[in-house]
Amino acid sequence: MFFSPGIGNIRDSLEQSPVEVFSPLLANYPAGHSYGRKKRKETWNIVVNSGDLRDLDYSDIADGSALPWEIAMWGSQIDCKILSQIARRFQTIADLERERGLVVAQGPELRTAAYAVANLTKRHLELVGRQTLEMDQLKHRRYLLQYPKVALRKIQSEETFLRRWGGLDVCHGPHVIVGASRNFAVYTSDYLVVPPRQIGIVAPKGNESFLKALALYLNSDFVAYHQFFTATEAGIQKTRGTLKALKSLPVPFQNPGELKPWEELYSRLVKETEGRDDFDEEVWVPR
């Protein structure tokens, strides 16, 4: 759907009329239920339920924000109030990027010679032998504080072509690598090539404590909640966050004195999970 603000009298009339949103949820339609385990019947009949109808103010959606649509489909005004109040209380990752020198970017797209484009790609032989992540090995894993060995692989010589605008700035440690689906955020001091669509966060030297606290915070349920409502695709197609949504995330610790308990908890959890290769939700993280 494409839309833009109206002009003159058209815009004035639109601003005075709400936008009706119909978002049918499968849970409200018994015809789509199945008694088989993990199975779902295809739904062919949709009855308009008053609980599935919402009104949005034109002024709330004119700027293209995803939040009003997500709230209309999945949330309520309580969610909107919670998110707006927290946003006013804390600086966001975008604020810290501007003021404290954080680098937040998606990982580079590794290409082979067959897919290299003249004048748009450059070969980086220094990446040969460097480690990157096998994302298929991290599916359905949550609350990761370190990577299982099966998720690491070495980059081969034939896949060292990168777009010229790169993404290598976020590959050197210490850094935090954040999953596109927000299912993990791992701090590491090692050089690790961030896969495409995953996000790397690098801080100025001497900020290891901040990065460890940030990795712990990004594994919390609140971050999953926040990113669900601020990412455009979440709840519609795939649960995948965006760089813009991550940069809008409020960070509850700002001063060095606030980092110590976060860092201590992070170190304790890493020690408890060290050597494990079966990470799951049994590993406790702050809710």
Would residue 205 count as lying in a domain? yes
**Token pair 């700027």 is at which residue?**
63
- Which pLDDT tens digit goes with each residue over 138-154? 988 888 888 988 999 99
Residue ranges of the chain with per-residue pLDDT less than 70: 1-16, 26-46, 118-119, 164-165, 237-238, 275-287
Would residue 286 count as lying in a domain? no
CB-CB contact of 242 with 232 (8 Å): yes
Q: Quick one: pLDDT at residue 281?
A: 45
Domain that holds residue 114: 93-273
Q: Quick one: pLDDT at residue 203?
A: 93
Judge if 233 and 140 occupy the same domain. Answer: yes
Would residue 72 count as lying in a domain? no
Judge if 235 and 169 occupy the same domain. Answer: yes
CA atoms within 13 A on the CB side of 246: 29
Q: Quick one: pLDDT at residue 227?
A: 93
State whether residue 131 is helix, strand or coil: strand
Q: Quick one: pLDDT at residue 145?
A: 84
CB-CB contact of 136 with 228 (8 Å): no
Judge if 52 and 102 occupy the same domain. Answer: no
Judge if 101 and 234 occupy the same domain. Answer: yes
Judge if 175 and 99 occupy the same domain. Answer: yes
Q: Quick one: pLDDT at residue 28?
A: 67
**Distance set, CA 152 to CA 12, 62, 73 (Å):** 56, 44, 38
Q: Quick one: pLDDT at residue 283?
A: 46
Q: Quick one: pLDDT at residue 255?
A: 80
Q: Quick one: pLDDT at residue 201?
A: 97
Q: Quick one: pLDDT at residue 284?
A: 44
Would residue 104 count as lying in a domain? yes
- Which pLDDT tens digit goes with each residue over 197-220? 999 999 988 899 999 999 999 999
| Count of domains observed in the chain | 2
